[in-house]
Amino acid sequence: MPELPEVETVRRGLEPAMSGRRVQQVTLNRADLRFPFPENMAEALSDARIERLDRRAKYLLVRFDNAQTLLVHLGMTGRFSIEADEVHEQPGDFVHAAPANPAHDHCVFQIEGGVTVRYNDPRRFGFMVLFETARENEVSFLKDLGPEPNANDFSAPYLMSALEGRRTPIKAALLDQAIIAGLGNIYVCEALHRSRISPRREARTIRGERAERLTAAIRQVIIDAINAGGSTLRDFASADGALGYFQHSFRAYGREGEACVTEGCEGEIRRIVQSGRSTFYCGRCQR
């Protein structure tokens, strides 16, 4: 499932084609994705101008000038594509994914300037929610989220406070979106490896210098992943069809049995299962 860097990559890919332009028509080719499409969504967004595209955690937020916001979650296989003047835009120098099957184009936005934006989702685990922008703090998917990893309010003191008294493993605590918004399995594994902290360690023990190392590692791994266009695992592709490169920089995730890359460490990467998810770490240098 796309995590924060992948959704940010999609946002950046869509923004030049959508921001500041008016929606001429919205076509829904089925009644639902994971949930039903918002009632009267096509009518509410037709003729509305897109002011900007934001992201909160793993959610894409499309802001309209009629005081409405469209929240989009990509689920497992959701992706956007952009067509302009009969040319499929593929900027950048990424390796590109195979074209999406048009049978799974469930939502199509016709935008002024000859731009067509398609939402394609074979498994239909994604969803869209339309809400009044002024009531964003009441939206169930957004209201209880913690700070963003690269926000000013995410710091070592904050993390220590959020983890105080928690006996759960730090891996599980970091996946709690109420503690940090947008982190998922891949980037938690990578941040823990970079900070040399065991995923088994109790969350309450992340104090002082450990907390400083961990917050710095979380910030940097997110920056590195965004700069690389995210990670391509199975179905993810950005809005231009590009596949991210960060998976080629994994230090731990998916590297079971391989040598640890930490300087001076002679250990190897192990895999364990925590809360039903694979965790990859080095038992020698992560403590």
Residues that are catalytic: 2-3, 58, 277
3-class secondary structure, 254 = coil
Q: Assign 3-class secondary structure to 211-231.
A: HHHHHHHHHHHHHHHHHCCCC
Beta carbons of 2 and 243 less than 8 angstroms apart:
no
Please compute, for residue 273, the number of CA atoms within 13 A of its CA located in the half-sphere on the CB side. Answer: 3
> How far, in whole angstroms, is CA 209 from its chain's centroid?
28
CA pseudo-torsion sign 282, 284, 285, 287: positive
Q: Are 183 and 175 in contact (CB under 8 A)?
A: yes
Cα-to-chain-centroid distance, residue 239:
13
279 in Cβ contact with 272 (< 8 Å): yes
